[in-house]
Amino acid sequence: MSLSLSPNTRIGFVGLGNMGSHIAANLSKHISANNLPNLTVWNRSKGKYDQLRSNPNLDQDKITYAEELKEVIENSDVIFSMLIDDHAAQEIFSQFFDYLRTQSQAQTETKRREVIFVDQSSLKAITSGKLAEQAKEVGSTYLACPVFGRPPMAQAAKLLIISSGPSEAQEKVKQLLKPVIGDRLIDVGEDVKKATAIKSMGNMVLLGWIELLSESYALGDSIGIDPKIFDEFLQKFIPAPPLLAYSNTISKGIFPSGGGFSVDGGLKDARNMISLGTDLGHPVSLPTIERAKANMERAKEIGGKDQDWSSLAIAIREQAGLQPYRDGTNGGKGTSQ
């Protein structure tokens, strides 16, 4: 097997959300720069196509906007996906695998078509394992390659990629991962469950940090510490920009939707974190994550599902006897509408 992609390799992308739209745009730029076949994209809501269509840096002649999902599997040899949750992933991949199964019945073994699936969704480890087995059954390969970073980092191709799956397939698509999508890549081996487990564990660190930050700011607000001063202290004390971005958000009390990771997304990931040990046969108690999950559920009740997940801070403020949202923040939305 060749360990590099053919210049005729066709690439598809499914899932144009806050992260996926930027990743697809960067793949499109790579395709144009290297004169590869068109990128075929699909999203359930076709309104998401507008962000790509309005991007002046993209060659629209090199993008095919699919009306139906099957157009992606019909016209792609490598398919990237960034899907909202396990249910969506299982639904989408089931259609892909059914198509390949039907096609293989009409082909000889030597002509069976192999597709490499590069899934960048945040899924349960057990789901990734099942998808890998199902892909193998239809003569294809599933790679779990989740990413770390917020939408601005996705736009700048500065994501951290956790790569897993059969080594030959990983080697083939590596040129499409780094530097096209991210600037750092960690290969965790052939077991795809490890990549999605690390994704959950990494998100645990972020969620635990947000919970701790929120408690610290609620304490400071209760005893008269200026949140701007405490944020300045953290910025100088802890040189970790991905973590400090949340300090700045919580100190201002503004949790806009669309710019990062939503409460609903955070709740989905918290459930994945809590079930990870049990799913893999080793239950582990995660009290910090349980508490953060409860606070996100309350934040959702107060301000809705589309707020940034760091809005769990409003639940902790409420518990401290403070108003959920800081004065002058327009209910955590920032500038008045």
Catalytically active residues are 199
Query: What does the alpha-carbon distance between residue 137 and residue 132 come to, in Å, rounded to a whole number?
Result: 9
Residue closest to 115 by CA, chosen among 93, 90, 135, 92: 135
Give the burial class of 34: count Cβ atoms within 10 A of its Cβ; 0-12 exposed, 13-18 middle, 19 or more buried: exposed
Query: What does the alpha-carbon distance between residue 19 and residue 146 come to, in Å, rounded to a whole number?
Result: 11
Residue closest to 38 by CA, chosen among 8, 16, 67: 8
Task: Yes or no: say if 81 and 119 are a contact pair by the CB < 8 Å rule.
Answer: yes
- Residue 122: other Cβ atoms inside 10 A: 25
Strand segments, DSSP code E, in 115-270 are 116-119, 141-144, 147-148, 159-163, 182-187
Query: What does the alpha-carbon distance between residue 304 and residue 282 come to, in Å, rounded to a whole number?
Result: 34
DSSP run (H or E) holding 65: strand 63-65
Q: What are phi and psi of 58, to 5 degrees?
A: -110, 140
Residue 302 three-state SS: helix
| Per-residue CA distances from 187 to 67, 142, 174, 190, 272 (Å) | 34, 15, 10, 9, 22
Q: In the chain, how many H helices and how many E strands? A: 13, 9
- The distance of Cα 245 from the centroid of its chain, to the nearest Å, equals 18
Residue 172 three-state SS: helix
